Chain A
């Protein structure tokens, strides 16, 4: 009994330590953001609880930085990236899972090959391409958004994931519908998609997180601050408030509130273990 207790105790001790380490950098940022202007944020020994707790840094940085706009931009870009990925992936996955046609294996192999091509190695030609297609923000807001969204509108991994999901659905379902005179598009939309809703949800959530946090591509293509997404806007804080760590900290904390709420609401998809397939994307 004591042995069992000791084992449980040491497990908790270790996991509390790891959880604490994983929260610490963010909590330290929060602590700095809450410290008043008369407090020394470089004081040794450092202290965690602000002596004059204040929200002035938050209101101050909020007035200077259009967080709502950045939030909206991130939401538009991530939202459309998710919708396009869901549509394109589930459309392409249907024949790959269900139909026999010429060149099927060749097409599927070509799609899977793109998983091996890292975006970082082709970003220069992709940039030249969006310039040529006039999909950059100097041609207007819509063009700017499209330039942010389209290069990530399809992901071979999503096609693969949806194909796997379609394969698990019994064929009889479609055959019955087909005999009833249902069109192929209707079968896809009214039978296959609802039955693979959990996979679609996992694909949507992980695509959303990926797009929401994307930094490299927006920092390359964006020139107009009106189109900044959250990561680009937050990185910009460093230049704007170079020595004012209270503002940088407060701005960083503001920027992660939406994703933390999203994470808490969707936590079962992240930590259930069913999403093993998706997190490997």
Chain B
């Protein structure tokens, strides 16, 4: 069965969509590639896509993100060129997640280095009436 995937690069990545496209051409598999501003869309047989995705991840493990897509690239039912422009369905989700991709990339890098995640900072508790009384007594007695 055919499969289509988005390969999205984080804003902090040194890998360009054209680098990913070249890498796919180098691999020599029967895969359809479409370059976009955020990465590439790849389309092909499921096994080829799975193997290619593993190769692509190695290019920049913490900065390349991969997502499934329902429609093949350039499909007239989704392609903006055929639908008179405007954002395609699903754009907003990707836009929202792209904003936090650098945070996730840095977190993945820290995770790969084996650094432990910091504990959440507990909110400061207001002193109770008795504690406040003690504090006043200590200060002014």
**A and B associate:** no
Query: Which residues of A are at the interface with B, using a C-beta cutoff of 8 A?
Result: none
Residues of B within 8 A of A (CB): none
